[in-house]
Amino acid sequence: MALLKRAKGFFSRIGHRNVVILTAVLLIGAAVYLNYLWFYQPTGELNYGSGNMVDGNPMGDASADADGGIDYFAAAALAREEARDEAMEVLQAVVSSSAEGSEERAAALESISRIAVTMETEANIETLVLAKGFTDCVAVLSENSASIIVGADEELSPAQNAQICTAVYEMAGILPQNVSIISR
């Protein structure tokens, strides 16, 4: 009984709106964490459930590699897009449920803006890397680091690594020591 009174007192002190915001932040954090796990295991196979299979191709319309497997780059881009869409839905719900001018609304709008800028920066990096002669590229940015996955048949040369690091620095301002380049 005392525990119930303590919980009730806790929620009345912090307010129901703050509980909703805390829940939204936790959901966004979980989406970011899952995105991190997904993209920082590039050598493993993408684990799709059998319910997602369409004619043996987990991505349905995604093109296949020469090996007959799924196009890794299409799958990675789609997974990144889906994770961002989930985060945007949560943020949009916070914006629509918050009062005009509230701190929660301002924080959600700022997060939406940050996600949009990150998406644009990733697209710009991918375009620059493709212009350098690589066949495929997926860029994944976090606060102070970047993972760049490029399509290459052989090990990247130091000059190619430098080109990619330069593109990332020019677009995102991320230092080369914080850039992870993976050839696939």
Helix (H, G, I), strand (E, B) or coil at 156: coil
Average pLDDT, the chain: 79
pLDDT digits (tens, 9 = 90+) for 70-87: 588 888 888 888 988 888
Predicted TM-score (pTM) of the model is 0.62
Instruction: Return the minimum-mean-pLDDT range out of 10-24, 31-45, 126-140, 153-167.
Output: 31-45
Per-residue confidence (pLDDT) for residue 37, from 0 to 100: 67
DSSP characters over 28-68: HHHHHHHHHHHHT-TTSPP---GGG-BTTBTTTTSPBPTTS
What's the DSSP call for residue 136?
-
Q: Given a cut of 60, is residue 97 above it in pLDDT?
A: yes
The rounded distance, in Å, linking the Cα atoms of 178 and 58 is 32
95: left (phi over 0), alpha (psi -120 to 50) or beta: alpha
Q: Given a cut of 90, is residue 180 above it in pLDDT?
A: yes
Per the structure block, which two tokens stand in for 158?
A: 């130091």
pLDDT digits (tens, 9 = 90+) for 51-62: 333 334 444 444
The rounded distance, in Å, linking the Cα atoms of 79 and 62 is 12
Q: Mean per-residue pLDDT for 131-141?
A: 91
Query: Which domains are delineated in the chain?
Result: 2-42+52-183 (1.10.287.4300)
Per the structure block, which two tokens stand in for 14?
A: 């912090």
CA atoms within 13 A on the CB side of 137: 24
